Structure formats: C-alpha cells, structure tokens
Structure 1
Amino acid sequence: MPSGLVALFDDVAVIARAASASVDDIAAAAGRAGSKTAGVVIDDAAVTPSYVTGLSPARELPIIWAITKGSLFNKLIILLPGAILLSEFLPWLIIWILMLGGAFLCYEGAEKVLEKLGGAKHGKTLEDEIQDPAEFEKQRIAGAVRTDLILSAEIMAITLNEIDLDVWWERGIALAIVAVVVTVVVYGAVALIVKMDDVGLHLTKKENTTAQNFGHFLVNAVPKLLVALSVIGTVAMLWVGGGIIVHGTHEVGFDLLYDIAHGAEYAVQGIAGSLAGIAGWFTYAAISAVIGLILGAIITFVLHKVIGYEGAH
C-alpha cells in the first residue's frame, strides 16, 4: 500500500509539473503572438475612436462597451473555434487566410491615403448629417463590430501562425488569452482617448491654476491626438498588411518581395553600425508599407474603377 501511495504521489507530481510546463508554454506563446499583432492592434485602436465621433458624450462609453462586447463575441465565439479546427485539420490554409487579411489591410490603408490625396471618398463619411441619432448609433456599432471582425480574424490568424503548441486545447487557451488581452487593451485605450476632452473640460472649471492649465492642455491635445492616431493607423495597416504579404508569398514559394525587403534590410544593417537593429527594422517596415500601398492601390482601382464598388463605411 505505501509503495502504491508513493507511486500515486509521483504520478500526481509528474502531472503537476507537466501542467505547470504547459501553462508556461501557453503564456510564452501568447506573449510572442501578442507582440506580433502589435500593428493590427494599433490600427484597431486608431480606427475605433472615429465610431463615436459626432455622438453625444454621454453615449460614448456605452457605445464603446457595446463594441467591446461585440469584439469579444467575434474573437471567442466566432473565430476561436474556427481557428482551432483550422489548426487541427487545415493548417496549410492559415497562410492564405493571413494573406487575404493582409490584402484587406493594404486596401483599407491605400484607400485612406488616396482619399487624403484628393481621391474620391467611398461610402458614408463623418460629415454626413445625422437624421436619426438612435439608428445612427446602431449603424455605428454594427459597422465597428464588422470592422473588428476582420481585424480580429487577422489577429487570431497571426497568433495561430506564431504559437508553437502541439495540443489543441493549449492553442485554444493561448488564442483566448491574446483575444481577451488585446480587446481590453484596445477598447480600454479607446475609452480613455475619447473621454480625455471631457476630463480636460472638467479640470478647466477647477479653481486650481495647475488643474486648469492641464485641462486646457487635454482639450487642445485630443483633436491632435485623434489626427495622429488616424495617421498611425493608416501607416500600421500598410506596414502590417505589406509585411504579411511579403512573408506569405515567401512561404508559398514566391520570393521576389521577400528578397527585396530583406535585401534592403540587411544592406542598411551593414552600414548602420550600432543602430543596425533599429535601422534594419525600420527599413523592412518602410518597404513593407510601400509594397502594401502599391498592392492596396491596385485593389482600390479594381474595386472602385473596374467593378464599381462604392463601399459601406
């Protein structure tokens, strides 16, 4: 009996160590994958504030909460099961889904650049008059959740491509961790951004001069921050989308774009000295963004000029 009990304890200890190792592996995989999704996360955080522009300040946080719930539903209920099934039965398809999402990011980024350069605007814009605020709010939430679904699919695909876990439930937990953390970070940041001007306005009414000055700073800074986020989001879309295309085409046997991007990266690293790492990364990101802009412009031309698609922003 004692030997059997000791053996049982040994088995339990082995299982506990294995479980602990699995947790560590899952956490490490989630961390690596999360860092790879940074560009899409920046894009998501940059795009979302536009969905509460023009609405009552009292409705900003409820709308962001509604979008947050929609984002969690997208990631955990719609995309997570599909990602697990895909990794189990059709892992070769992941790279093609990644490239499809990358092409969409290129298209979105290029369309914004072309509109800023004077091109035609497609779909509804923020300048359109609001006829029915309640209906407009529903449309904004629905549009944000649709956009989030695409960005979330890209985040989940990037995560799935980065994690190296053999067991399906470990992959599922890693995907769920990334999904929840990304959602909380993105929409928490969005909530802070859209309420900064309200906080600033509140501080301007204080008697303390320092508080008033900081309040005025916040009120004046928010419009500039939103513009900066819009620019950062556009650059992030082109950089991430182009990078996915560069990597994806290399994975399927077409090496031209990969050779161009990495050739320039290595050339810059060779002459950058102590700044080789940063300079090389920036070069690769810049070339990826240019590739993304060219591909996105081609897609935009085909969709709007050839097919006649007008969009539904």
Structure 2
Amino acid sequence: MATTTQPAHLLTLPTELRNAIYLYIFDSPPRATSPPTSPPHPDPLALALRFDKTPYPPNLYSNPHSTLPLRLLLTNRQIHAEASLLAFSHTRFHLAGPLADPETFALRSRLLPRAKLSAIRHLTLTARISHLRALNETWAGLPFGSEELRLESLTIVPWRPDCSSSAYAEVADLSQSHTLAYVFTETFKGLRGVGVVEVRNQGCFNDVVWRILYRGLVYRLYRWGGGECGVRFECSAEDSGGKEGERDAWFRVLFQGSREGGNEVGVEVRRLAGGELPDPGTTAGFGGP
C-alpha cells in the first residue's frame, strides 16, 4: 500500500537546522547605505520592534536592509517565538536623535518586552549635535540611560545642518568639534553596558576639524586617566584626504571586556603627537583644552 509523505517545510526541520537557518538570515552583513541628507524623523522604538502588527511604521527611520530580515518573524507565532531574540541580537536598529534622551527612550520602548530590549546588541544613533550635548549629563553611565541594554556596539553619527555658505561656518565647526570632544570624553569616562562605541563622520566635518575632534577626545582622556584609562582607540587613516576619505572617517573607543585591539590612550597620544608624550598640563597640537 502506497504511503503519502507530507511536504517538508521550515518547521518540520530539526531545531538545530532551523537555528542555523535563522542565524544565516539574521547574521548577514548589512548593505552599505548613504548617510541621510536631513535629520531622521523621531523613531518610536516600541512600534518599530513590535510584531503583532507591523515593524515598519511610516515615520520609522531605519536602515531598511538591516531590518528587512525581521519580516520573517511575521510568518507565524512559532517562528516569532523561537527566533525573535536571535533576530534582535543580530539586527542593527537605527535610532533618531530625540531617542538619545533617556526619558524619550524609555517612553518609546515601554511596550517592548524586557527580554527583547535586553537582547538588542547593536544600535546606531544618528543625531544632531544639539541632541548629543547632554549625553554625559543624562545617560549616567548607561547607554540611553537604560539598565536593560547590553550593547556589543553603539555607532554614533553626528549630524548638523549645512552651513557651508555661512562666513562663520569654520568657526562654528571648530566650536562644535570641541563641544563633541568634551561630551564624548565625559560620557566615555564611566560608560557601562557597551563593548565598542564607533563615531562616524559621514560628511559632518571636513577632515581637519574631524582630526581636531578625535585628538581632543584622546588627549582629554589621557589627561583624565593617564597612560591607561580603561579604554583603547582605533581610527581610520588620517592621510586619506579628499571628499571620500573625509566622508568615511571614523574612530572607535573600545571598553574593557570588548574585543582585543586598539591602542591604549598613552600609546595613541604618543602616536598623534609624533612620538613624544606631551605634558598633561598643555594642549599643544591637540586643538585646544
């Protein structure tokens, strides 16, 4: 007597194979995208990460290529139940500047189950410099002021309106670079719950001002903690001039417990200063106090 066989599908596979498929889908590297030409709209995090209706509200600002795999979770309840935490841990969610404020972040994420919020490992924040100025005062050592977040990486993309036509554009850029160097220094001194913070230029500053920002950050941390202050540094090549090099410039601050690599602050100061450690009481060659 002939027997009929049921057609195979994802949910008939062994759990180990399903997990391997989920990992392949959610761990795919995101496609490169151009930086925004205008500040992103406020991102209601709770709506963006809920799957009972849609993860794509009209005013969500996110990298569509990084969140596209999340649509798999809308297939059925079983896939959502067994794959959602894995999906959250491998998706880079892109947040807008207003969410840098802890109260706004808490308000937007209040409907998100704590387990899902805790599963997030990668966040990108694109924010006006005005939204970044208070990080050292409001975060209190925790990313977005949230005790639930345990991030492997936090990417910050500063954004400012185009002021190239202004006669005071260069002065304004220098002032803002010093402001960011101070804010980042004070924020990174006690930041917990983050493995690596990467700051990307993406055309915010020209290459000269960007170098001043980075050098100011490194030297401030050197003055605060001496030759070893608990963080290490990596940066893009400083000799990659031209528009393309300036747009792609970045630096990383690696915290204790993060992956190996980078220079201790004393080594990085020596490199930036041309081989000699400057007097901690001076600011020569580092773009100001």
* Shorter-chain TM-score above 0.5: no
Structure with the bigger RCO (C-alpha within 8 Å, sep 6+) is 1
> Rg: which structure is higher?
1
Query: Which structure dedicates a bigger proportion of its chain to strand?
Result: 2
Query: Which structure dedicates a bigger proportion of its chain to helix?
Result: 1
